[in-house]
A = this chain, B = another copy of it.
Amino acid sequence: MKNAPDLSAQIAKSIRDAIVSGDLPVDERLPSEAELSEQFNVSRSTVREALKRLAAQSLIRTQRGATGGAFVNRLTFEDAYGQQITTSALLLSMNTVDFDTACEARFALERACAPLSAARRSADHLATMRAEITRQAQPGLSDESFCASDVAFHRALVDGAGNPVLSYQLAGAVEAIEPLMNMITFTARSRTHIVGLHTAIADALEAQNASDVDALLADLATYTAQLGRSVADAKKTSS
């Protein structure tokens, strides 16, 4: 078994290691493509393929022109957030993950934020949640919009913890798992019931009552799991 990765992959790894190890600091300019091709003894195309790999991971950015080149990119929370959502969504769509597993993970993670959010949520977060609840109660709302609003509500809850690392780590749970679950359960769910729980959650957060928030999230988890089961049963009997 030969395991010789492409030259472009090797070069990408070499540069990536230099970035990860801090050898190449943020905003440092990499040698030009011509110089890199000399250093690595490969053609410019091969270097370019390596650089594109790094660009795809937001590790570098490139600029044209005289003083241009490839620069080490500061990975922002926003960049990482987006990547996480894409990856999580793909992971769920490409692998057979049963509803219960996804549901369990999502609520376990969200409940981890609850005490922090109860302690620290700002007026801004509360306002966002109230606004989304109002939207969710509107009768004409499409399923897509309801789902988007649902995500925004839970995102506000998570962000309320005021911990960007936590918000980042939960990106997949809130913005990938949540829509997946919405897609499965939207036929069976009661918007009224969900809005009721959301309202109670917002109230408890406003009162900074962590244990109530936790209990209400547990209720929401139970309800969602029930919905999943009922949809699965309905599918089974019909087939």
Give chain A's interface residues, CB within 8 Å of chain B: 8-9, 12, 19-20, 22, 26, 45, 48-50, 52-57, 59, 74-77, 80, 83-84, 86-95, 97, 101-102, 104-105, 108-109, 111-113, 116, 161, 163-166, 168-170, 172-173, 177
Contact = CB atoms under 8 A, between A and B. Distances in A.
Contacts of A12: 56
Given A52-B56, A105-B169, A108-B163, 19 more contacts: A9-B55, A12-B56, A20-B89, A26-B94, A49-B49, A53-B55, A56-B57, A57-B87, A59-B90, A75-B87, A76-B95, A77-B95, A84-B84, A88-B169, A97-B164, A101-B163, A102-B165, A169-B169, A169-B172
B20 A91 contact: no
A74 B91 CA distance: 8
A217 to B, nearest CB: 11
B91 A166 contact: no
Contacts of A57: 56-57, 86-87
A20 B54 contact: no
Given A52-B8, A91-B77, A168-B91, A108 B113 contact: yes
A77 B84 CA distance: 13
B53 A75 contact: no
A6 B50 CA distance: 16
Contacts of A170: 169
Q: Tell me if A's interface is mostly helix, strand, loop or mixed.
A: helix
Identical chains in the assembly: 2
Contacts of A165: 92, 97, 101-102, 104-105, 177
Contacts of A102: 165
A87 B83 contact: yes
Contacts of A84: 84, 87
Most buried by B among A19, A77, A94: A94
A94 B74 contact: yes
Contact of A112 (B22, B56, B111, B168): B111
Nearest to A173: B169
Most buried by B among A12, A80, A105, A111: A105
A93 B74 CA distance: 10
Contacts of A88: 80, 168-169
